[in-house]
Amino acid sequence: MRLASFDIFDTTLIRLFGRPENINVLLAGKEHSQGDALEREIESACLIANPEVRDIIRQKRHEGWQIAFISDMYLDSEFLSGILKREGCMEDADKIYVSCEHNARKDTGTLYDLVRKDLQPEAWEHYGDNKQSDIKKAKQKNIKTHWIDTRYNDVELNLPNGNENLRSGDILKVLAGVSRAARLHFSNDAISTLSANIVSMTYLPFALWVLNKAKQERIKRLYFLSRDCYIIMKAAEVFAKDYDVELRYLFVSRRSLYLPYIAGGNEFDYLEAADKHTIIRRDTVDKLLLHLGTSREELRNKYNIEFSYRRTDSAKEQQDFLSKIFHSQFTNELQNRAVKAREKIMSFFNQEGLLDGIKSAMVDVGWLGTSRLMINKLLQSAGIEPISFLYFGIRRDAVPSMHGKFDSFFGAGKLNTSAPALIEHYMSASPFPTTIAYHKNHDGQWQPVFPEGEKYSENAIVKSNIQVITWIAEKIKILGICEDTSLFLCSKNAIEAISKKNIQIDLSPLFMMGNFDQWKFIKRFSLSELLSFLFIGKRITEYDWGSLKSTMPLNLCPTCWQIHKKTAKLRGIIFRKIVEKHR
């Protein structure tokens, strides 16, 4: 007989709450009159199969091996067998040996002796996670061993960072266990690891914060703005029934807002919705025109308007651009288009319930707040009170609350400067394309218009992020660990893990993303690109920190980043002196 034996805990079964002692966090504050029954109930609810090992068990069984489970554990074999069978790991013909029932242990080798005497295998292979009791001791007993790696990775170990001795730290340890369980449950590859460790641990706390804010402020409807907030809405849906709030996905974007926003407006309104109220050294002329529903070709062919520059790099070029848009033969056509676009978007808003008087709020990842400014101007044009926004993070110079009240999960300027590109392009990846306009279908319903050739599409990253975050949300709901401070620290530690020098993270999935806003999202720098980035301050990609981390050894990244920042500061000083000299 050939025997394949498997350790149970942290090999065949994974605890959602992580390390065994973390069960005390879940037991805290609960009635202990039931004695061990409550602990067994929690253990049962929180044990899930390790898919990798379950597949090995099934393969070994198919090949004719006798299956046995061996554990140093105080829980009895009947209890453990029930869970193993529930999780699809054990069948009636399999054997189970638990130390508490045999007065023998793996870590001393005596339990292996007992199994050998009982089953007398001709060949024996053992699988386990513990290098001492499952590997070293088993080898001493002439058993072929296979190490199963279910260790915590760097991000999971970092999650309780600096809070280990606080109540929040205890909850963070449980969340680290959930993150690890999700990583192992979803194939443990690079994509699912980022989904479990970074995306879910960053966004789930925000989703719960949004729901709690809605409850506190008696908000009855939450609009999650496309495209960035799709994954946040999917997480919130798991908890929504407990909060008496309706969740809706709103197809809207800066591109779909710009044209209706300037209806009846002028260049001053236009600049008010621009970053720092200027278009100097911002987007290209082509992109600015795209947002206004026109192009260089149309302006050249129909209105004899030309732009000699790729981007407005000076006050003179900015003024030239504004004059040609707002004080030319094209201006009347622009306003006609803007009025029609406003009629369409307001019809869409009315269809989506924004004009029906229900107390609502909008959820957005944040940064500057120009969407809030434009949406509330459009609502005010229909006599509707400004709607409040709930942001993940905002800049220090965010659009003021006179354009609509807002609150932010992360305070002004508190997010790492490298975070927005990662958040927008990777973490917020959505199956829906960007919305560019609206049209009425044959049923009379208003629908979003997407760029030509683009449609709903779920790639591997989108699928993984959504599957993992909803799975973790369901587990967190079961565990009941929704304490605000702990969740904020969880999000903070997760998003900051990317930029920490001592944390190893496989960023290879980021290379699967396409260009971001006409920039390469991430790449490995060539030598010339690295030197240009460090000493000239040249922007190479949209996510230069990730590109640097993918290029240089981990221990050199912080030094390189500091060189980049210091040379950038020096260039700023020189630039300001030149400007002041020529004033």
Please tell me the predicted confidence (pLDDT) of residue 460.
Answer: 93
3-state secondary structure 95-140: EEEEHHHHCCCCCCCHHHHHHHHHHCCCEEEEEECCHHHHHHHHHH
pLDDT computed for residue 215 by the predictor:
94
Closest by alpha carbon to 145, among 170, 127, 123? 127
Contact 17, 475 (CB under 8 A): no
Query: Looking at the predicted structure, is the pLDDT value of residue 554 above 60?
Result: yes
What is the percent of the chain where pLDDT is above 70? Answer: 95
Q: What percent of the chain has pLDDT over 90?
A: 70
Residue 480's pLDDT band, with cuts at 50, 70 and 90, is confident
Q: For residue 36, name the pLDDT band (cuts at 50, 70, 90).
A: confident
Q: Is the pLDDT of residue 575 over 70?
A: no
The per-residue pLDDT for 281 is 85
Task: Look at residues 437, 226, 446 and name the one whose alpha carbon lies nearest to residue 340.
Answer: 437
H/E stretch holding 316 reads helix 315-326
- Average pLDDT estimate for 462-482: 93
pLDDT of residue 33 exceeding 70: no
Most confident of the ranges 260-264, 502-506, 545-549: 260-264
Least confident of 450-459, 525-534, 557-566: 557-566
* 34 pLDDT higher than 90: no
The pLDDT value recorded for residue 583 is 44
Among candidate residues 543, 551, 546, 545, the one with its CA nearest the CA of residue 527: 551
Q: How far apart are CA 561 and CA 551, in angstroms?
A: 12
H helices of 143-284, in order, are 154-158, 167-185, 190-194, 200-216, 230-239, 254-261, 267-272
Tell me phi and psi for residue 278, to 5 degrees. -150, 155
pLDDT number for residue 579: 44
Distance, C-alpha 318 to centroid of its chain: 37
pLDDT band, residue 576 (cuts 50/70/90)? low
Distance from C-alpha of 452 to C-alpha of 109, rounded to nearest angstrom: 67
Report the pLDDT value the prediction gives residue 168, as an integer from 0 to 100: 74
**Looking at 255-264, 348-357, 574-583, which range is the least confident one?**
574-583
Which pLDDT score, from 0 to 100, does residue 502 have?
A: 75
Find the mean pLDDT for residues 499-515.
83
Q: What is the pLDDT of residue 52?
A: 96
Q: Which of 9-13, 135-139, 482-486 has the lowest mean pLDDT?
A: 482-486
pLDDT tens digit sequence for 76-124:
999 999 999 999 999 999 999 999 999 999 999 999 999 999 999 999 9
Give mean pLDDT, residues 434-444.
93
CA-wise closest residue to 244 among 214, 282, 267: 214
For residues 281 and 270, give the distance between their C-alpha atoms in angstroms, rounded to a whole number: 16
Q: What's the length of the chain? A: 583
149-170, pLDDT tens digit by residue? 999 999 999 988 766 656 678 8
Cα separation, 583 vs 580, in Å, equals 5
More confident residue, 93 or 540: 93
Look at residue 194 and tell me whether its pLDDT is greater than 50: yes
**Looking at residue 572, what is its pLDDT?**
61
Residue 373 pLDDT level (bands cut at 50, 70, 90): very high
Rounded to whole angstroms, the Cα distance separating 343 from 264 reads 13
**pLDDT by residue (tens digit) across 313-341?**
999 999 999 999 999 999 999 999 999 99
Q: What is the pLDDT of residues 269-298, one digit of tens each?
A: 999 999 889 999 888 999 999 999 999 999
Strands (E), 368-427: 388-394, 406-410
Confidence of residue 574 (pLDDT cuts 50, 70, 90): low
Q: What is the pLDDT of residue 582?
A: 45
Does 348 have pLDDT greater than 90?
yes
Q: What does the mean pLDDT of the chain come to?
A: 90
